[in-house]
Structure formats: C-alpha cells, structure tokens
C-alpha cells in the first residue's frame, strides 16, 4: 500500500491529534473514494469530518474553499480501528514537518505558502480529494520546505494551529 503522508519531525507524540466521526463510505477501504492518509478534511455543521460541507461557499469547487479550516488525515486506508469506530484521526494542533504525495506542484517553490484545495489524486483516477497547492486566496496552512521531482513529493511545515 502506498504511503501518501509521512511525518518527518517532531514526531507523532508531540502533535495533538483529534478523531472526527465520518460517514461509513469514507472509511470503507473497498469503496470508490475512501479517505487517504494525507488527504485534508474539514468539519461540517454537525461536527463530523467531511470532504465538503453543505455551505455553498465551501463545497467542491466553491469560490472560498481554501478559507475553511482543514486538517490532514493520519490513518492508512483499511485500518480496522477506523472502520470499526467510524472515526478518522487527524493532526489537529502544533507545528510539524511532513511529506505528502497529495499536492499540486504548479508554481511551488521553497518557502511558498500552501493552502488546501481540490485536486484529482491519484492522477487520472477521476477521484477529487483535498490536498495542498500554492496559496491564492485561502488560509495559509504551511510552507514548502522541499519539493521532490522523482517521485513527485512535497515536504512542508504545518503552521496553522
């Protein structure tokens, strides 16, 4: 199984995690679009972890999508504990450095500010997920610390807490 997201430092024990209740379809490893490690989720009005909220400004492709706080998922697809309790762990508070495969490299450079945005991942799959891209109008959630080209991977530092 591919690792889409890896913490580099300071280490998981120094990061505050939070579990969010999610829909069954998001944790079904055999589903068409389960949540992946490194994908970013937000919280809806019912305090549930979702890809998109019902608010027209923050739905898939909405104009203000990057203005909604989001947190990276920290659970591999198919984990039994996640399936059993229907809760997905996220990295909630404190700064950390990590590497992710779920990002859009367009315009990125070392030190570039990052926001959460919609993107197709894996490429060509047709599955729309939330990942990182160069900030345009959204909340700055981190900064690029290194950009790898082969394989394409983004190292960043998370700053928004």
pLDDT by position in tens, the chain (length 161): 468 899 898 866 678 888 888 887 888 878 888 888 899 988 877 888 888 654 544 555 555 566 778 899 888 666 767 777 788 888 888 888 999 999 999 999 999 999 988 888 888 888 888 899 999 888 899 999 999 998 899 999 998 64
The span from the CA of 161 to the CA of 56, in Å, is 25
The span from the CA of 39 to the CA of 43, in Å, is 14
Q: What does the block give as tokens for 74? A: 């920290």
Predicted pLDDT at 160: 64
* Domain spans of the chain, in order of start: 5-158
How large is the greatest C-alpha to C-alpha distance in the chain, in angstroms?
Answer: 41
Give every CB contact of residue 136 below 8 A, 6+ residues apart in sequence. 66, 115
Predicted pLDDT at 56: 46
Predicted pLDDT at 86: 80
The span from the CA of 83 to the CA of 29, in Å, is 8
Predicted pLDDT at 142: 94
Q: What is the dihedral of CA 122, 124, 126, 131, to 10 degrees?
A: 40
Q: Write the DSSP symbol of residue 122.
A: S
Predicted pLDDT at 69: 83
């Amino acid at each position: 199984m591919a690792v889409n997201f890896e913490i580099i430092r300071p280490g998981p024990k120094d990061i505050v995690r939070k579990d969010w209740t999610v829909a069954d379809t998001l944790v079904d490893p055999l589903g068409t679009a389960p949540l992946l490690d490194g994908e970013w989720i937000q919280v809806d009005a019912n305090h549930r972890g979702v890809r998109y909220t019902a608010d027209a400004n923050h739905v898939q492709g909405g104009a203000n999508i990057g203005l909604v706080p989001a947190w990276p998922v920290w659970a591999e697809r198919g984990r039994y504990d996640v399936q059993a309790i229907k809760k997905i762990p996220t990295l909630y508070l404190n700064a950390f450095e990590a590497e992710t495969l779920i990002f859009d490299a367009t315009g990125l450079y070392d030190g570039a500010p990052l926001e959460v945005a919609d993107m197709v991942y894996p490429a060509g799959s047709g599955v729309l997920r939330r990942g990182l891209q160069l900030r345009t109008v959204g909340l700055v959630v981190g900064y690029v610390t290194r950009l790898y080209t082969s394989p394409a991977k983004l190292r960043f530092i998370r700053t928004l807490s």
